[in-house]
Homo-oligomer: A and B are copies of this chain.
Amino acid sequence: MGSDHSPNLLLDAIENYALSIPDDIQLVVIGTPNWAKANCSVKFHPCAEFIGMGENPLHALRHKRKSSIAIGLRLLKEGAIDAFVSAGNTGALVSSAKMILGLFPNLSRPALLALMPTKKGTVAVLDVGANLQEKSSLLVQFAYLGAAYQKIQGIDTPRAGLLNIGSEPLKGTSERRLAYQKLNNINAAPFDFKGNFEGKSIFDGEIDVLVTDGFTGNVFLKTAEGITSFILDQLNSQSSKETLKTDDIAELRFRLYHTEYPGALLTGVKKTVIKCHGHANPENIIQGIKGAIEFTSNHFVQKLQKQYELTNPLPKT
């Protein structure tokens, strides 16, 4: 409901997509009754209200208990659905998910995790927008969370880095410096801490997990997306127009957009929640649903919690 695109358009796309998936997967759309369609092939679950993008998340959380986000998360909690995909208000989604679904033990806040392509593989970036304040103890927890994610992907000892404005240990804010110290001093960590990384060196592929606060992580993600679009448009409009293979550009654009558009996994909550961007178009939402189906089929979130609990010996601070 909170997306920048009309619920009607999204519903059409979802209905169309539903035709292509196995019968044992059922899609449920949660929206205000005015968007319900006659003879719709996907299940429509009505909600009384929804939370707008500009609303204060905590206010909405308290006063809109019948919003699409609140209802979806309760259905998820009760087991009526297995995964929840939303393009709505991030703050409201994250706070509600934390409250309704609960967090992994020894974790203070969930983190949105996005995958970014690099010259050598894929780096898991977290947090990309669930929490806006920088806190060293949280950054350390995110290193464990990101490492658990990459371990499930088959990386035995994920290499972790801290997003910063220089590589030296003393660089950055006081919380960043504290996080560096803490990460550097962990005994028998499930990850190999490689130190501070600047935005420019992340694409070299020297790390598997990039730890950051949600505000900076979000700027990182969206800047990468913005400049990708800018560069590819520039190359397309230049004299190389006729000589540049549009296939290559399209593929690269897809890979880089891929970071945000299938949606970020809300890691740290006990069920599968995918956050799509508010600008996400119908095709992007379908990618988010595909991601949700894949995570659910693989019991990914259960594995993630197990891995996190196994590797994180730190009490919550």
Contact = CB atoms under 8 A, between A and B. Distances in A.
Contact of A173 (B133, B169, B233, B252): B133
A215 B166 contact: no
A239 interface: yes
B252 A235 contact: yes
Contact of A227 (B172, B198, B203): B203
A198 to B, nearest CB: 5
Interface string A230-267: 11111100111001110011001000100000000000
A286 to B, nearest CB: 21
Given A173-B133, A238-B248, A240-B248, A203 B222 contact: no
Contacts of A132: 165, 172-173
A197 to B, nearest CB: 10
Interface in A196-249: 198-203, 214-216, 218-235, 238-240, 243-245, 248-249
B235 A223 contact: no
A198 B224 CA distance: 11
Interface stretch (A12-20, A52-60, A153-161): A52-60
A243 B235 CA distance: 12
A123 to B, nearest CB: 11
Interface in A247-295: 248-249, 252, 256, 278
Contacts of A231: 227-228, 231-232, 252, 256
Given A216-B216, A226-B198, A240 B233 contact: no
Interface residues of A, number: 56
B223 A248 contact: no
A266 B252 CA distance: 36
A231 to B, nearest CB: 5
A78 interface: no
Given A223-B223, A230-B119, A235-B252, A54 B170 contact: yes
A291 B163 CA distance: 30
A105 to B, nearest CB: 28
Interface string A108-123: 0000000000110000
Given A129-B165, A165-B219, A202-B223, 4 more contacts: A54-B170, A219-B219, A235-B235, A243-B244
17 contacts: A165-B222, A172-B215, A198-B222, A199-B220, A199-B225, A202-B226, A203-B226, A203-B227, A203-B229, A219-B220, A224-B227, A227-B227, A227-B256, A231-B232, A231-B256, A240-B244, A244-B245
Which 5 A-B pairs give the minimum distances between C-beta atoms? A199-B223, A200-B226, A199-B222, A203-B230, A54-B168
Interface of A: 53-56, 90, 118-119, 129, 132-133, 163, 165-166, 168-170, 172-173, 198-203, 214-216, 218-235, 238-240, 243-245, 248-249, 252, 256, 278
